């Protein structure tokens, strides 16, 4: 299993961090977990052109996690020699979001269908949406996936994916605070990917920006670096992979973030930048 951080950013724009997205390669599957800003550019950086993406998993429907899903759908469609529907697995609400997205893309789709006979023959742009709930599980080829409830309230439902292949387990959490569902998902995982923020920096910056009060609200529903490390420790994880850095991580700051996590977790800790990967 190879896990690549495609984007380590957040809703806050960054010149160096793409939006949240992680590539999981296992068996014959190339799964993209969340599809934030710049995901298609980063897929190319990971040597994974969109036609080779086999499935999309969405942890939740916050804009930073879905804003470039349309780019994957369109680019995969027009760059594929044969039309294979793109499976999208996400929480309840995903179908409504994707229907809206396809409506947005419908004019572009009709232009391309009018122009290209092979795209017409293949029957157009296709996605298959699967709304999945905590407690369910499914199989993609030789890869097993189970769905776990996370806690990002007031955003609900939100989910995480435990992905297993050949005895190797990757636990992919989206935005969440520590909770029982997260602990179940991470139990004895080889890799635990967690979106995190730095509470100390958020509290420092909040008084300096006009939207400071709203900025402070984000502390309610994300894991801090320390909480992610505590979860990794509690769940006997091998490698903790941090992503979705709030505020955006500055080049050279990785060691500082890693040191904060190391106070609570003695295993391996991986901190970006974009396109960092781990493999087992």
The secondary element (H helix, E strand) that includes residue 131 is: strand 127-131
* Closer CB to Zn ion, 78 or 177, in the complex: 177
The least distance separating Zn ion from the CB of residue 64, rounded to whole angstroms, comes to: 5
The least distance separating Zn ion from the CB of residue 222, rounded to whole angstroms, comes to: 7
The least distance separating Zn ion from the CB of residue 217, rounded to whole angstroms, comes to: 12
Locate 260 and state its tokens. 């904060």
* Closer CB to Zn ion, 35 or 129, in the complex: 35
* Closer CB to Zn ion, 175 or 254, in the complex: 175
Q: Which residues bind Zn ion (CB under 5 A)?
A: 62, 64, 175
Comparing CA positions, the residue from 184, 142, 180 lying closest to residue 161 is 184
User: CA geometry: angle at 223 spanning 217 and 229, to 5°?
Assistant: 155
Q: Which residue has the tokens 């994880």?
A: 237
Q: What is the dihedral of CA 246, 268, 3, 132, to 10 degrees?
A: -70
Locate 53 and state its tokens. 């993406």
Which residue in 64, 68, 175, 274 is the catalytic one?
Answer: 64
The least distance separating Zn ion from the CB of residue 92, rounded to whole angstroms, comes to: 16
Catalytic status, residue 274: no
The secondary element (H helix, E strand) that includes residue 52 is: none
User: CA geometry: angle at 263 spanning 215 and 269, to 5°?
Assistant: 80
Catalytic residues: 64
């Amino acid at each position: 299993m190879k896990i690549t951080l495609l984007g380590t950013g957040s809703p806050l724009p960054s010149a160096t961090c793409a939006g949240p997205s992680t590539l999981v390669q296992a068996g014959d599957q190339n799964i993209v977990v969340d599809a934030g800003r710049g995901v298609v550019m980063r897929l190319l950086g990971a040597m994974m052109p969109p036609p080779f993406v086999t499935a999309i998993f969405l942890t939740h429907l916050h804009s930073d996690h879905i804003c470039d899903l349309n780019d994957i759908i369109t680019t995969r469609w027009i760059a594929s020699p044969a039309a294979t529907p793109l499976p999208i697995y996400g929480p309840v609400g995903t179908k409504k979001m994707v229907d809206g997205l396809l409506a947005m893309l419908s004019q572009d789709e009709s232009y391309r269908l009018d122009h290209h006979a092979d795209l017409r023959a293949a029957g157009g742009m296709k996605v298959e949406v699967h709304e999945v709930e905590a407690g369910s599980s499914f199989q993609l080829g030789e890869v097993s996936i189970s769905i776990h409830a996370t806690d990002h309230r007031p955003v609900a439902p939100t989910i995480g994916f435990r992905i297993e292949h050949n005895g190797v387990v990757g636990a992919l959490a989206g935005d969440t605070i520590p909770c029982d569902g997260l602990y179940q998902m991470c139990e004895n995982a080889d890799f635990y990917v967690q979106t995190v923020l730095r509470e100390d920096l958020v509290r420092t910056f909040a008084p300096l920006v006009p939207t400071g009060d709203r900025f402070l609200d984000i502390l309610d529903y994300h894991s801090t670096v320390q909480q992610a490390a505590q979860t990794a420790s509690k769940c006997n994880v091998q490698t903790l992979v941090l992503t979705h850095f709030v505020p955006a991580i500055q080049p050279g700051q990785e060691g500082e973030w890693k040191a904060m996590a190391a106070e609570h977790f003695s295993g391996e800790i991986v901190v970006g930048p974009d396109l960092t990967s781990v493999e087992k």
